[in-house]
Structure 1
């Protein structure tokens, strides 16, 4: 954020906003019964702690926790907020007091990019959210339905191998962001939309790249700390034109979703045409609420967006980080490959049924979740009523930032000696916290917990494991251009998801050439 703009705007509107801000603060304190708020950093008038958040706010909030304790209070403009990176506090919020903290805050980005906060991920607690989540759990993400797409996942794994093989034969370094993004997107769009976007019989590379670009921009905009969410008057000037960009992306996303719905309706009207039912077909057949015959288009598009955006971006980001760390640590890579050879052999490719017999690979994934969570924070929670936490009083509508990036580096959980080291062995049975004690609950939260836990967690784990297992089993991997492994950077970019700053490129050498020739 531009600090000078914040300062200029804050002082220009100081007198205009002071009275309304004072009333808001007084009301919140009254709700708290004038009791203690958690400790936190000193605050500026009007803007509160907003000026103390830089381009990587997850690191700023982690620093506050290291100074003020496991639960830190912040005043962000006219919004009360707390942050934590402590498993015990997180357990209290997401498990023991889940009923008090299970809502979501309204944000400008969610209003534009999540159909007025009408999806599952960003909807406030209430009957609408419960119904939308029930549709996901009972109709879209059942074990039986996910199992029915096993053959599709196997086919996409073969497409991925052939893609890497063709690049290798051409002497090219492999752009793993592109390869892993195509794998994730094809799996999700085949389940949801009934078609591929990359590879044979795809919808077309131009449409695929445009769609992937929109998805990345969507996550960037949903994750930014937008000043207008905390100082509403900021939206009057919006010098960064952030809200204008949100409206542009909103239209592109909505046009894409509407096109898919119309394609499915047309296909359903064509008498005698039989096809495998995908998720959109299922949604078009479901009844709506309040006696409506069908779900309306807005509800269908909100569910489509959750499924597409969450499943494609988060799994591909996790896999790219995992591959980066494996290439940086050849010992770990060789150990994972030895496990694959022992379980799968060298005469066939990896199957879904192999994935749960690969304990070391699962430790690799868990260590990736620890060191490089898909997002720097869980999606923010919001308290539904005044409540008490660790003996402190929190007003209603307090925004809760659970810092997963800092959680994976908490020395009280993982030990202080090797927090930044990629070491999957720390997750083996009976080990954790850098020593011999069992792992702390809530120490890693790739899918959240409690009522707002991601309903697609099972699918996400399978997609991450299958992509990694296929690439490690099929190929040797090394840095491009003669780089040393440790020279591969680990610089992240902030957003709702947190990818590498630059796409990962690597040199692949076939291990199982007899399967591809």
Structure 2
């Protein structure tokens, strides 16, 4: 009975989508005739089911499909995914034109996913977004504020080193992934709430955040016609509500503690900056649910991408021992035996920076930017980009591995960045202001505001991990550097099992 109920619901949704597509296509055709411009090309769209046959192999493994489409139709292609037309941009020149030259037009987002509710990444371009982003960049991510958290980075690093020491002394292979992610997450929890929580509390918050991240795609069905989803997918809807309830039960007490000034003896936190904000539309302060959503975004965005990138870099150091040896030599030349690596020391390590940049180029944590939306009808490469029911996506990995831009792009070669770092040449600008050659943090008005924080954490942890340990593969193991991308979940990394010994 339940099967037929779900089947009937899906049929209703498909029929409604058909009518929606017919209406939108008619509207788009009128615009095409008026502007004398076509929509971006793509495969034939079947009535009701859209581009289902193109996505039948694996909806999550979209990159091979896009390579075929770009080879056939050019650098801008479109697919019907759900009720929206998804436009994909492949080349760095068109990405620069859209995100930098026409940044204001391409600065918005598609309608919010239900699970995100209220956060900077998903919010449409407007005064509330500007207020929240400005607060984050000036109050939390300013260099002076980042410097004030040096003691917290030192504390978290020591926790990580101690855990690795204990496990490495057993002589067995160690699963490094969880330790790196926990250390990064602990640091972000401290920055968010201004308090050192014990491991049990951190693990509980980490578990619920991971659950939310990994189940986002499952809950997307509730975004399409939400009123139907709540009725016909009641079990899924209740599951979502239960997850959000658990999250609020964990985070709201920490927020209230800051609001009631019970934690005055601890560092300033992200929550402190949010509690003082007033929204521009009605002057009200943020609600508890909005505070929870913003804190959740801070923890997820600051943890997963940084941890994933760091693990890819370590995997490449294991694969390429000569690069690891060269990096260790540079570190030993800057910091003597037994000396602490200060953040000022990182500025004296150009090869360290080159290794981090090459890791971000070769293995960007996300292969697609979060979808953009245009604020008005516009054009790109001679095609109409309509305002409504259209998402604009940029293929980050394809751009950073373009053989026309990078020599031997699939090789892990940090030396390609050294001249720009040592000589101060603007060969590589990862913000993309002048030219986009790679964009692991995005570009334009929606560039990741925590770019500086992410680079600092990667350089700081990597320098200490390479100085204190020699990273090797377990006997008989080969490091798998192949990648499987998931659109809604941060890419899994290849750093499965390693052993390491104390570096002399």
| 1:39 matched residue in structure 2 | 41
- The residue number in structure 2 matching 1:507 is 499
Q: Could you tell me how far 1:387 is from its partner in structure 2? A: 0.5
Shift of 1:170: 3.2
Number of aligned residues: 485
The answer for the alignment partner of 1:409 in structure 2 is 401
Offset, 1:503: 5.5
- Could you tell me which runs of 5 or more consecutive residues in structure 1 were left unpaired when the two chains were aligned: 197-201, 432-436, 513-517
**8 Å contact 1:56–1:494 — kept in the other structure?**
yes
Paired with 1:209 and 1:312, the residues of 2 have a C-alpha distance of: 13
Equivalent positions of 1:299-310 (< 5 A) are: 299-310=290-301
Deviation at 1:6, TM superposition (A): 12
1:205-257 Cα offsets, whole Å, 9 max, x none, are: 3x333322322333334467946657889847988976655444333323322
The equivalent of 1:422 in structure 2 is 412
Structure 1's 263 and 47: CA in aligned 2 closer, same or farther, altered over 3 A? same
- Does structure 1 residue 57 correspond to structure 2 residue 62? yes
Q: What does residue 72 of structure 1 align with?
A: 77
| Displacement of 1:85 | 2.2
Report how far residue 303 of structure 1 moved. 2.4
Q: Give the corresponding residue for 2:362.
A: 371
Q: Mean Cα displacement is larger for which, 129-138 or 257-266? A: 257-266
Aligned: 1:320 with 2:323: no
Confirm or deny: 8 A CA contact 2:37 2:382 kept in the other structure.
no
What is the CA–CA distance in structure 1 between the aligned matches of 2:495 and 2:453, rounded to whole Å? Answer: 24
Q: Does 1:476 align with 2:464?
A: no
Contact 1:77-1:231 at 8 Å conserved across structures: no
Is 1:492 matched with 2:492?
no
Q: 1:1-400 counterparts in 2 under 5 A?
A: 17-32=17-32, 33=34, 35-53=37-55, 54=58, 55-107=60-112, 110-112=113-115, 114=116, 116=117, 118-196=118-196, 202-205=197-200, 207-222=201-216, 226=220, 235=229, 245-266=239-260, 268=261, 274-289=265-280, 292=283, 294-397=285-388, 398-400=390-392
* Equivalent residue, structure 2, for 1:464: 458
Contact preservation (8 Å) 1:104, 1:122: yes
Structure 1 residue 466 displacement after superposition? 0.9
Conserved? CA contact 1:375–1:498, under 8 Å: yes
Decide whether the 8 Å contact of 1:80 with 1:395 is kept in 2. no
Residue 181 of structure 1: how far off its partner (Å)? 0.9
Write the distance in 2 (CA, Å) between the matches of 1:29 and 1:236: 34
Preserved CA contact (<8 Å) 1:46 1:78: no
* Contact 1:195–1:203, Cα closer than 8 Å, also in 2: no
Judged with a 3 Å threshold, the aligned counterparts in structure 2 of structure 1 residues 288 and 26 are, in CA distance, closer, same or farther, namely: closer
Larger deviation, residues 234-243 vs 340-349: 234-243
Distance 1:243 1:72, change over 3 A: farther
The 3 A distance-change label for structure 1 pair 168 and 8 is same
CA distance in structure 2 between the partners assigned to 1:455 and 1:230 by the alignment = 30
Contact 2:312 2:495 in 1 (8 A): no
Out of 377-386 and 222-231, give the one that drifted further: 222-231
Equivalent pair of 1:319/1:464 in contact (CA under 8 Å): yes
Unaligned runs of 5+ in 2: 430-434
Quote the residue 2:432 is aligned against: none
- TM-score normalised to the size of structure 1? 0.84
| Residue 510 (structure 1) shift | 0.5
Cα distance in 1 for partners of 2:151, 2:74 equals: 49
Contact 2:309–2:359, Cα closer than 8 Å, also in 1 = yes
- Preserved CA contact (<8 Å) 2:106 2:374: yes
Superposition RMSD in Å: 3.1
